[in-house]
Amino acid sequence: MSEVLTDSDELRKKVYWWLERPDRAAIGPWLLEIVLIVLITLNVAAVLLETVESIYARWGFALNLLEGFSLFVFIAEYAARLWVATENPNYKTRASWAVSPIAIIDLLAILPALLYLLFPIDLRLLRTFRMLRLLKLTRYSPALGMLLAVFEEEAGAFFAGFFILMVMLIFAASGAWLAEHDAQPAAFGSIPAAMWWAMATLTTVGYGDVTPVTVAGKIFGAAITVIGIGMAALPAGIIASGLNDQLHRRRASLEREFRKALEDGDICEKDEADIESVRKQLGLSRRSADHIRERVHAETLSDAERCPTCGQPTEQKAKP
């Protein structure tokens, strides 16, 4: 029995190695990653083309065949990732992985097709939801992964911003109703009806289809427009701050790798390979890595290697 468990553990570790690609230099997992990216791209293109009636009438069978094959692959991928989730040190249980943002994206990629098999839902609606498979590229794109991490970490700030927006929406709709409901009963006859104008004004500069006509309404609308500019900048500021923090932490992680490699005084080939693997995993450019390398080298130079006058690194004397 113990031998079976050992074999199962070894198989799980191997599947984890293929799917999660901890070794960034491995050719096999890299090819599998490329295949999945191509399949996701083809699925998104198929959803776009299916909305063209002439294309779907001619190539409908091929597009449906691609959907069936893709569904099989994505279900197998999801099941495999769920099975090997405990190999990832970030997840102690499979349930903790299943509720992670990236796992929810994987589930959403297969859920529309599964719902169609269980419930008689409009197929066109499900085709639209299949566009969610585009989010699976988050796993393979460092930039998208960084953005997802920002949304995950700044969820509280985004919720606070959304709450403030809802309060301002109700306040703006109420004020517009008070100022305009007599002059424009069709557009501002109730607070819910005035919410269309309030949302358009808070999030943009207005569509122009509904505008205040009274003096009080125009003054109030101008104030709401100014407030809306700040409300639109609020989430952008949260994202910009979160991205900057993520980039700073990733650079700090790579800097720690350089310092760790320089503990023995030199960076060997194995250290270079490990640093390059970390660089790719963090999604940093070679230029950023070179800049970090130069800074770490400069900071780790001993006092004997610096000029006592200017403090700049001195050339090492050649050995006799």
Question: Bigger pLDDT: 145 or 94?
Answer: 94
Q: Is 297 among the domain residues? A: yes
215 and 120 within one domain: no
134 and 207 within one domain: no
Judge whether 314 and 305 are in contact, CB under 8 Å. Answer: yes
265 and 162 within one domain: yes
pLDDT confidence bin for 310, thresholds 50/70/90: low
d(CA 58, CA 65): 13
- Please give the radius of gyration of the chain, using alpha carbons only, rounded to the nearest integer: 28
For residue 68, the domain's CATH number is 1.20.120.350
Q: Is 40 among the domain residues? A: yes
Provide the whole-model pTM: 0.63
d(CA 9, CA 280): 28
Q: Is 311 among the domain residues? A: no
18 and 126 within one domain: yes
Q: Is 161 among the domain residues? A: yes
d(CA 277, CA 261): 13
Helix, coil or strand: residue 308: coil
Number of domains the chain contains: 2
Q: 280: domain range?
A: 141-303
200 and 68 within one domain: no
74 and 118 within one domain: yes
CA end-to-end span of the chain, whole Å?
65
Name the percent of the chain lying above pLDDT 70. 83
What tokens does 156 get?
């509280």
Q: Is 318 among the domain residues? A: no
Selection from 279, 302, 303 nearest residue 291 by Cα: 279
236 and 205 within one domain: yes
Domain-ending residue, one of 83, 116, 140:
140
What is the pLDDT, as a whole number, of residue 316? Answer: 47
Q: Is 170 among the domain residues? A: yes
Domain-ending residue, one of 105, 140, 175:
140
For residue 279, the domain's CATH number is 1.10.287.70
What tokens does 74 get?
């994505």
292 and 238 within one domain: yes
pLDDT confidence bin for 6, thresholds 50/70/90: low
Q: Is 24 among the domain residues? A: yes
Q: Is 320 among the domain residues? A: no
107 and 234 within one domain: no
Residues 141-171 pLDDT 10s: 777 777 777 877 787 887 887 888 888 889 8
203 and 256 within one domain: yes
129 and 211 within one domain: no
238 and 126 within one domain: no
